Amino acid sequence: MSSVGSFSQDSDNISRTNDPFDGYEGDNGHEGNDQEPESDYNDRQGVQYEPVLTALFPHLPAGQKRHQNAARPKVTGKTFFISEYACMGEFMEEVTQSVKGLGNLPVPWDFKIIAGDFRSSLFKVIWSVRGKQGLLADEAGYNDMLKQTKGSIKLSIEELEPPPGQVLNKNLGPELEPATMVKKKSKKKHESSEEEDKILEFINKLITHHTSHTANVDIDNPPPGIEVENDNDDDDVGMLAKWRVSLLQQAH
- Each residue's pLDDT tens digit in the chain (252 positions)? 444 545 554 433 433 333 333 433 344 444 444 567 899 999 999 999 999 999 888 777 777 777 777 788 899 999 999 999 999 999 999 999 999 888 888 778 889 999 999 999 889 999 999 889 999 999 999 999 999 999 999 999 999 987 776 555 444 333 333 333 334 444 555 677 777 777 777 777 777 666 666 656 665 666 655 555 544 555 555 655 665 556 555 555
Contacts 24+ apart (CB under 8 A), 161-170: 161/56, 162/105, 162/107, 162/121, 162/122, 163/121, 166/107, 167/107, 168/106, 168/107, 169/106, 169/107, 170/59, 170/106
pLDDT of residue 186: 46
Residues 14 and 126 in one domain: yes
CA 114/CA 139 separation, integer angstroms: 10
Residues 86 and 204 in one domain: no
Query: How much is the pTM?
Result: 0.52
In a domain, 165, yes or no: no
Residues 10 and 112 in one domain: yes
In a domain, 180, yes or no: no
Residues 137 and 44 in one domain: yes
In a domain, 1, yes or no: no
pLDDT of residue 200: 76
Domain carrying residue 240:
194-251
CA 68/CA 159 separation, integer angstroms: 19
pLDDT of residue 222: 64
Q: Given 108, 142, 159, which residue is the final one in a domain?
A: 159
Residues 137 and 229 in one domain: no
In a domain, 72, yes or no: yes
In a domain, 63, yes or no: yes
Residues 212 and 151 in one domain: no
In a domain, 187, yes or no: no
Q: Total structural domains in the chain?
A: 2
In a domain, 188, yes or no: no
